[in-house]
Chains A and B, each alone.
Chain A
Amino acid sequence: MPSLYWYNYLVVVLFIALGIGLPIVAFALSRLLRPKHAYAEKTTTYESGAEPIGTSWVRFKVKYYLYALLFLVFDVETLFLYPWAVAFDRVGTFALLEMVIFLAILAFGLFYAWRKDVLEWK
């Protein structure tokens, strides 16, 4: 007998509720107990004791972005691989060949990025 689909997710919702609830309860509790003596010097940004210079909300460099792009490519790839892996026993050699081609193209992409020094953190 299959389990009732939404029961599973009811439990997940309970988990989420508790996961969010615990910190909130804890914060509320600590709010009752803790002292409150914030003053301007105390709430300045910590920068090893020196006066903070400028904001830290800055842009990040392109190199970083390239990793993110690679991540996107391979993340989608892995998502594509999962159904294939599950159905591996049933889909036959043709699907294996298709996947080998798919993987080979992606592996070439990785190799290309490698040789183009995308993978160097500079």
Chain B
Amino acid sequence: MNAIWLPEVIVLAGAIGTLAFGLAARRSKAMSDLAMTLALITVVVALLPTVGLIGTVEEGFAGAFRIDGLTLAFHLLILIGTGLVLLIARDGRSDGVPPQYLAEYAALLLFAALGGMLIAAAADLLLLFLGLELLSISSYVLVGLKKTHLGSTEAAMKYVLTGATATAVFAFGMSYAIGLTGTTDVYQIGQTMADAGFMARYGRLLFVAFFFLIVGAFYKLASVPFYMWAPDVYQGAPTAVTAFLATVSKASGMALVVRLFLGSFAWVAWEAQPNVIKNFWSESTPYIAALSALSMIVGNVLALKARDVKRMFAYSSVAHAGYLIIPLAAVNPMMIDQIVFYLLAYLLANVGIFAVIDQVGRDRGSYDLSAFSGLYHRAPLVAWALLLFFLSLAGIPLTMGFFGKLNILLGAVWGGHFVLAGLLVVTSVISYVYYFAVLKQVFMRPGTTERPLAFSFGTATVIALAVLGTLLGSLFPGEVMRTMQQAFDAVQMFGIYQGRL
């Protein structure tokens, strides 16, 4: 038996160690800084066994904990995202977070990441829920960390209240699924549902369960119908936390949705009338497609009006959630690869942008669009990096984001969803408008100052890494995709009837 739980245990130990470090160093600032570094080291150390586990498909803890391609892919996404966010947070410590909470800041980021990792690894509804709650509760605190800042407090309050609602919705759906099938195991639920006559009896109720579960999980994705918290929370939270919510939290939500959809529901087929075989994914497709379409439209249109950059990225993240849901509606053999590739492209570009936003915002004391004016003259290299990130996010051809969107588009067309495919293209074009509004400020507007903007080491590292990753993905998308397919062979998601492993 491999030590399949090693990554989680390392992150947990690191989180507790960081907290303890903060306790030991209550009054010394240098020690609190070390706590941040410790958290960073934890993430790097946790990455090692995760990489080592690649290719493993194994279950532990009576089937509740499962390591497979999907788990490992999301583990890597979450760990990389958390590491980059920690780098931003480490340098952005003056961003309103009281210095005595630095250790908690780092530890909570680790706890949240642990929650996300548990979600990705859970094959049992209870563990899934536990991970979801760990992620959520840590995020609530993180959002409110700027204790003296009104916006941050307001954001935390709104986040807690809406989050509690979403959790309730999720738990309600869970109660249906567990009650009808009599098991908490995600795969067992799928198998019970596949029993003859089960869907004929409970079919309607299972759809209720499914939609409550999925909609509750969509909260983490910030997609329609649970997107309204995003703008206020993104705006109020410390910038590093915003980056965390936009990337790691979203990736975890995606893991949750994918695991539930593909593990329990998607492959169930039943005989609705004599000789008429229906299957779950084709029945649920119209509704998921509608949610996806709404997310794309709502996100992109509302972003047009935003003047605050963080707010704009909140709406943009709603739109991206819409793109990410498309493969769920358009079920096809490559869907997990599409989702993971797109998430990676999105994560790299977003983290890079938030690193810049953080530095600029702290320099100018504002997150308004105009804060970016003349950035090209102040920091030309960073401006070029920013250009790359925006192009990737917008999906301009020959960037990583473009290939991500292309994959999703092809998947949608393959699944026969021409409307979704069309919407993807149209809303992407709409998104150019607000993305280029920022670029216009950076390159074309004269700033109030020409003073060079110095980027601190951590932020510069984040930007460099993000540029590197995005360039790699842009230049060799096929290779990246192929490596992913080999490493995180997700085929086992598609074979629950041939046994679990």
Contacts and interface: CB of A to CB of B under 8 A. Distances in A.
Answer yes or no: A and B touching, Cβ < 8 Å: yes
Interface of A: 105, 108, 111-112, 115-116
Decide if the interface of chain A is mainly helix, strand, loop or mixed: helix
Interface in B5-46: 16, 19-20, 23, 26
Contacts of B16: 105, 108
Interface of B: 16, 19-20, 23, 26
Contacts of B23: 111-112, 115-116
11 contacts: A105-B16, A108-B16, A108-B19, A108-B20, A111-B23, A112-B19, A112-B20, A112-B23, A115-B23, A115-B26, A116-B23
A111 B20 CA distance: 9
Nearest to B16: A108
A112 B22 CA distance: 10
A108 B13 CA distance: 12
A105 B114 CA distance: 15
Given A115-B26, A116-B23, 9 more contacts: A105-B16, A108-B16, A108-B19, A108-B20, A111-B23, A112-B19, A112-B20, A112-B23, A115-B23
Nearest to A114: B23
A74 to B, nearest CB: 17
Contacts of B19: 108, 112
Contacts of A115: 23, 26
A94 to B, nearest CB: 11
Contacts of B20: 108, 112
Contacts of A105: 16
B164 to A, nearest CB: 16
B305 to A, nearest CB: 38
A105 B19 CA distance: 12
A47 B115 CA distance: 53
Nearest to B9: A101
A105 B111 CA distance: 13
Nearest to A117: B26
A12 to B, nearest CB: 28
A66 to B, nearest CB: 14
A111 B24 CA distance: 12
Top 8 A-B residue pairs of the complex, sorted by shortest distance between their CB atoms: A115-B23, A108-B16, A112-B19, A112-B23, A105-B16, A108-B20, A115-B26, A116-B23
Contacts of A108: 16, 19-20
A108 B111 CA distance: 15
A112 B23 CA distance: 7
A112 B16 CA distance: 10
B170 to A, nearest CB: 20
A115 B20 CA distance: 10
Contacts of B26: 115
A2 B23 CA distance: 53
B110 to A, nearest CB: 14
Interface-centre pick from A105, A108, A111, A112 (highest chain B CB count, 10 A)? A112
A111 B16 CA distance: 12
A29 B494 CA distance: 75
B9 to A, nearest CB: 9
A20 B446 CA distance: 80
A97 B231 CA distance: 45
B281 to A, nearest CB: 38
Nearest to B26: A115
Contacts of A116: 23
B13 to A, nearest CB: 10
A116 B26 CA distance: 9
Nearest to A115: B23
A111 B19 CA distance: 11
A108 B23 CA distance: 11
A17 B106 CA distance: 55
Nearest to A108: B16
